[in-house]
Structure 1
């Protein structure tokens, strides 16, 4: 595999995910970074969208998924995201980091995240 990547960084998504019932009812902000390993040489030479992965389709699909999902854990939500990438593009190697922007933990103002990979060869 060469070093080519498509990177989507800082995708903000409003979703109904959380262990607390109020998180699932009210919803909250999440932020997503994705990295897809794909050979970009053909698109680099042809300048044709058909020769690469259309990241706008991916962003739109993840935004739609965020509007519909109801679950408790970042782990499950991130699995659903990985499934969606695979539905769109097949077995492309992908890394993601999904961050909960405002975890409801008393005295904690940072971010909580999960990092996941699928089909990555190393």
Structure 2
């Protein structure tokens, strides 16, 4: 992460996508939820009150919504890698952490949430 512990955080981004091992998951689609954090020194933006000095999260939200609409794949792992790539394409090699959740995993007797957590250049 940068010398600062600052970060831009987006939580609870709901995305409709056609992802899943089962054929009907890819055919019909389903809801997923995404949280992500981007490491960035926010001091200059805070002092100057200047959007150009920070990471504009609206760009990420719009790009990820667009990506999800056209996505067809089997695994959360693959999709999470593609999400990381979108974020890097937008903001460069910044520290990134994400959690991608499948809201209704098709496992008999299970009503919880399944997720993957991924990161690049993220220091705990």
Shorter-chain TM-score bucket reads: over 0.9
CA distance in 2, matches of 1:67, 1:80: 13
Q: Which runs of 5+ in 2 are unaligned?
A: none
Do residues 58 (structure 1) and 60 (structure 2) align?
yes
Do residues 5 (structure 1) and 10 (structure 2) align?
no
Superposed CA RMSD in Å reads: 0.8
1:88 aligned to 90, 94, 97, which one?
90
Q: Which runs of 5+ in 1 are unaligned?
A: none
CA distance in 2, matches of 1:36, 1:121: 12
CA distance in 2, matches of 1:119, 1:90: 11
Do residues 111 (structure 1) and 110 (structure 2) align?
no
Hey, which bits of structure 1, 4+ residues long, moved more than 2 A? none
* 1:47-71 residue CA offsets vs partner (Å, 9 max, x unmatched): 1111110000000000000001100
Aligned residues: 122
CA distance in 2, matches of 1:84, 1:48: 24
Per the TM alignment, residue 119 of structure 1 is displaced from its structure 2 partner at its CA by: 1.8
- What's the TM-score once normalised by structure 2's chain length? 0.96
- What's the TM-score once normalised by structure 1's chain length? 0.97
* 1:74-116 residue CA offsets vs partner (Å, 9 max, x unmatched): 0000000000000000001010000000000011000000000
Give the equivalent residue in structure 2 for 1:120.
Answer: 122
